[in-house]
Amino acid sequence: MTTKGKASPYLRNCWYVAGWAREVQRLHMFRRILLGEPVVLYRKGDGTPVALEDRCMHRHAPLSHGRLQGDNIECAYHGLVFDPDGACIKIPSQDTIPPNACVRSYPVAEKHRWVWIWMGDPAKADESLIPDFHWMDHEGFAWRGETLHVEGNYMLVVENLMDLSHLPSLHLTTLADTAVPENEEFPVTFETKGNDIHINRWVRDVPPPPYFRLLGDFKKGDRVDRWMDSHFTPPSFVRIDIGACPAGSGQLDGDRTGVQTAMNLNAVTPETATSAHYFWAQAQNFSEGDESISEVDFRLVHDAFQEDLSIIRGQQENIDLSPDAPRLNLAADKGGLQATRMVEKLVREEQEAG
Ligand code: FES
Ligand SMILES: [Fe+2]
């Protein structure tokens, strides 16, 4: 079976991560291109985050080049002033303000250490739809995260995260040992719940992988049951639970509280059709206040992601050169293909709905 590589259009009526909460500050504006649109982010005096179109309606100067006047922005070019709702409230060169003088204002929300943005119909923005990333707020978990810039379409990152078969090959020196080898005894299971896709793989009664011997409590000679459990929420959120427990302790069907788990948390926001902002964090419940464990875990995954981003940069270059070149799909591509098809279906439905 073959498919053709192409950039996905964007789903608009959903939340995307616009930035880390720590990046969005009072008395400071910053510009970020999101879904092909320029956005300026800052906080009002009361701490509420604001996201406005970063393109003055007058002559398209970036508002982020201007000055904050309290909660309002004065454009650097000719001094038009816009309030946090995007309405123009002052034009220095004339008394009348045309009724259409405004920039777009986007709904924003702050949750799980990130500032989220809704770039579709503002009337549909519902904070209860923000995907669950509570591990960054959970007192039992230590975490560390960062933003990476991707020189490729955001769905190439989703496809990469949903494909664990590349670990032994691409991440030979970093994450290869966390990969659970596929075999008939311990098959991969796929499950779709609503729009979410869940890929799970358990391996029972094996020696603890070096990853858990390095970071956690398991010693050489122990036997463990281990899992790699990936959960995709459209359009671009992937949470991977990588864990191990003493062999035979029954965690497969039961409560995983108290077992050693590392959560790999990923939110990818399109920048343009060929680039993306990759917000990710690594959280683990076995560091017990030892920051060096969080640091080693973060560094390990960071180094692996550099290997991924290098491949993705090359993939995008090849796609740009020959967008219609065929692609060969293997059995291990099932998760990535399901995610891509789900996003394409949702985009299609959204566009048909108007
Ligand atoms: S471009 Fe902003 S005031 Fe003229
Ligand atoms: Fe990878």
pLDDT in tens, 163-216: 988 988 888 776 766 666 566 677 888 999 999 999 988 888 888 887 877 777
CB 180: neighbour CB atoms within 10 A?
Answer: 18
Quick check: 29 and 12 in contact, CB under 8 A? no
Q: For residue 235, is the peptide bond before it cis, meaning its omega torsion is within 30 degrees of 0?
A: yes
Distance between CA atoms of 95 and 80, rounded to whole angstroms? 12
Query: Which CATH code fits 2-128?
Result: 2.102.10.10
pLDDT of res. 261: 87
- Per-residue model confidence as pLDDT tens digits over 285-304: 887 778 888 898 999 999 99
Contacts of 174 (CB under 8 A, 6+ apart): 300, 301, 303, 304, 307
Strand positions, DSSP E, 113-176: 114-118, 142-150
Fill in the DSSP letter of residue 244. E
- Is the distance from the beta carbon of residue 167 to the nearest atom of ligand 1 less than 6 Å? no
pLDDT of res. 253: 63
CATH 2.102.10.10 residue window(s) in the chain: 2-128
3-state DSSP call for residue 251?
Answer: coil
Give 250 or 32, the one with higher predicted confidence: 32
Tell me which residue has tokens 């390095």.
214
CATH 3.90.380.10 residue window(s) in the chain: 131-353
- Is the distance from the beta carbon of residue 90 to the nearest atom of ligand 1 less than 6 Å? no
Quick check: 284 and 142 in contact, CB under 8 A? yes
3-state DSSP call for residue 258?
Answer: coil
pLDDT of res. 3: 39
Contacts of 333 (CB under 8 A, 6+ apart): 159, 163
Q: Is the pLDDT of residue 314 over 50?
A: yes
Least confident among 30-34, 85-89, 207-211, 234-238: 207-211
Structure tokens at 236: 């671009």
pLDDT of res. 289: 79
Confidence of residue 247 (pLDDT cuts 50, 70, 90): confident
pTM of the prediction?
0.93
Distance between CA atoms of 149 and 313, rounded to whole angstroms? 10
- Per-residue model confidence as pLDDT tens digits over 327-347: 999 988 999 999 999 999 999
Quick check: 259 and 246 in contact, CB under 8 A? no
Confidence of residue 2 (pLDDT cuts 50, 70, 90): very low
Distance between CA atoms of 233 and 101, rounded to whole angstroms? 37
pLDDT of res. 5: 46
pLDDT of res. 4: 45
Q: Is the pLDDT of residue 56 over 80?
A: yes
Number of the ligand 1 atom closest to the C-alpha atom of 56: 2
CB 204: neighbour CB atoms within 10 A?
Answer: 14
- Among residues of the chain, what percentage have pLDDT more than 70? 92
> To 10 degrees, the CA torsion angle through 217, 219, 223, 228?
50
- Per-residue model confidence as pLDDT tens digits over 127-156: 999 999 999 998 889 999 999 999 999 999
pLDDT of res. 255: 63
Contacts of 278 (CB under 8 A, 6+ apart): 147, 148, 149, 150, 157, 266, 268, 305, 309
Structure tokens at 12: 């608009």
Give 264 or 218, the one with higher predicted confidence: 264
pLDDT of res. 175: 72
Report the separation in Å between the CA atom of 54 and the middle of ligand 1, taken as the mean of its atom positions: 11
Distance between CA atoms of 302 and 308, rounded to whole angstroms? 10
- Per-residue model confidence as pLDDT tens digits over 213-229: 777 778 888 888 888 88
Q: Which CATH number fits domain 131-353: 3.40.50.720, 3.40.50.1390, 3.20.20.70, 3.90.380.10?
A: 3.90.380.10
pLDDT of res. 257: 62
Ligand 1, atom 4, residue with closest C-alpha: 78
- Is the distance from the beta carbon of residue 91 to the nearest atom of ligand 1 less than 6 Å? no
Quick check: 91 and 97 in contact, CB under 8 A? yes
Report the separation in Å between the CA atom of 229 and the middle of ligand 2, taken as the mean of its atom positions: 15
Report the separation in Å between the CA atom of 15 and the middle of ligand 2, taken as the mean of its atom positions: 24
Report the separation in Å between the CA atom of 219 and the middle of ligand 1, taken as the mean of its atom positions: 64
Q: Is the pLDDT of residue 282 over 50?
A: yes
